[in-house]
Amino acid sequence: MVTRCLCLLWRDRRGQDMIEYALMAAFLSVAVAAFFPTDIAPNISSVFSKVVHYLNLSVT
């Protein structure tokens, strides 16, 4: 019974595409972070901080 369930689970490929896309996205983000110029990172951080600030203002 347990081995049959494990065999069925092993052969199930329904979630495989999502895992592959998640792994590709993770690899791409690590690669971009590795080659991204460090002088641009603070500017991007300030943009996201402003976006979060304005979103918080719109909620309250």
**Of the candidates 47, 48, 45, the residue with the CA atom closest to the CA atom of residue 36:** 45
The confidence score (pLDDT) of residue 15 equals 64
* Percentage of the chain lying above the pLDDT 70 cut: 78
Measured between alpha carbons, how far is 40 from 34 in angstroms, rounded to an integer?
13
- Summarised one tens digit per residue, pLDDT across range 29-50 is 888 777 776 777 777 778 888 8
The confidence score (pLDDT) of residue 32 equals 79
Side chain identity at residue 11, one-letter code? R
Which has more confidence, 17 or 29? 29
* Measured CA distances, 5 to 11, 15, 16 (Å): 10, 17, 18
Measured between alpha carbons, how far is 40 from 32 in angstroms, rounded to an integer?
12
